[in-house]
Amino acid sequence: MPPAPSIKALGSWILFNQPYYIAGQLWFLYALLYDYIIFAIIDKLHWQKLVNVIIPVGIAAYILLAQGAHLMGKSIPNMIYRNFLIEGLPLFCLGYRLRLHRNKINVSNQWLITGFVVFTVLCPVERLLMGRDFGVNIVSFGQVITLFVLCINNPSWGEKRYLTKFGALYSLYIYVFHPAVWHLLEKAYALVHLDDNPVAVYAMPLLCLFDAALVSIGYVKMKQLLKRVKNKKVNGTAV
């Protein structure tokens, strides 16, 4: 049973984007909405220079709260730094700033892809050195920057590459459905006694991604079918 409604739960949702009554992983949707609103206000008031402060201060605060506190033996709830303000807004503004200065960035795709791969490989290394297996890694900011610049430098990829088109159509639904799929997989693993099998456990994220993609495809196809049926009924009535 979900916890009873409380002022504390409401405050955590408003201030830290923590959803108590739906999957916690969906905090990002609330955070993104907040960041759209904040950035719209910044743009409306012509405070774009504020972005130059938000990016370094936000990233520094994140590293200090997420990893620095851990190294000092302090335990800080992840919602304190994984929210619209500390994690969301600096990265949102970083993407804006990189795109704004895209003509000044002269880095080849080969170097960007190499950098992305290197930072990705360093993620488990950092977690091993830090002695923790939760939270966004410091090297993840390198991942983000190389990926942002790669996408900004290659806008035509969205028109030519099937994977990009697939992401544009299904990625939101995959994100929304994946917590439910994950919990169903947990129950299925327990039912067939695979929850302690190392190979099965490591394969679970891939299974979750695959199953969530199938559910998302089915959902989109169903929406398209219902839309066609509705249009036929409207056209039939009009005739």
pLDDT in tens, the chain (239 residues): 555 668 888 888 888 888 776 767 888 888 999 999 999 999 999 999 999 999 999 999 999 998 888 888 888 888 899 999 999 999 999 999 999 998 898 999 999 999 999 999 998 888 888 877 666 788 999 999 999 999 898 877 766 677 778 888 999 999 999 999 999 999 999 999 998 898 998 899 999 999 999 999 999 999 999 999 988 887 765 44
Residue 160 has a pLDDT of: 64
Coil, helix or strand at residue 47: coil
pTM, whole model, 2 decimals?
0.79
Residue 156 CB-density burial (10 A; 0-12 exposed, 13-18 middle, 19+ buried): exposed
* Sequence-separated (6 or more) residues with CB below 8 Å from residue 199: none
**Alpha-carbon gap, residue 141 to 156, rounded angstroms:** 24
Maximum CA pair distance of the chain? Answer: 73
Q: Is residue 157 packed enough to be buried (19+ CB in 10 Å), middle (13-18) or exposed (0-12)?
A: middle
- Half-sphere exposure for 182 (CA within 13 Å, toward CB): 14
Predicted confidence at residue 108, as pLDDT, reads 94
DSSP symbol at 18 = -
CA dist 132 to 62, 87, 144, Å?
Answer: 16, 19, 21
CA distance 212 to 210: 6
Instruction: For residue 90, give every residue at least 6 positions away whose Cβ sits within 8 Å of its Cβ, in sequence order, or none.
Output: 54, 55, 56, 57, 58, 59, 62
Which residues, 6 or more positions from 87, have their beta carbon under 8 angstroms from its beta carbon? 31, 58, 62, 81, 136
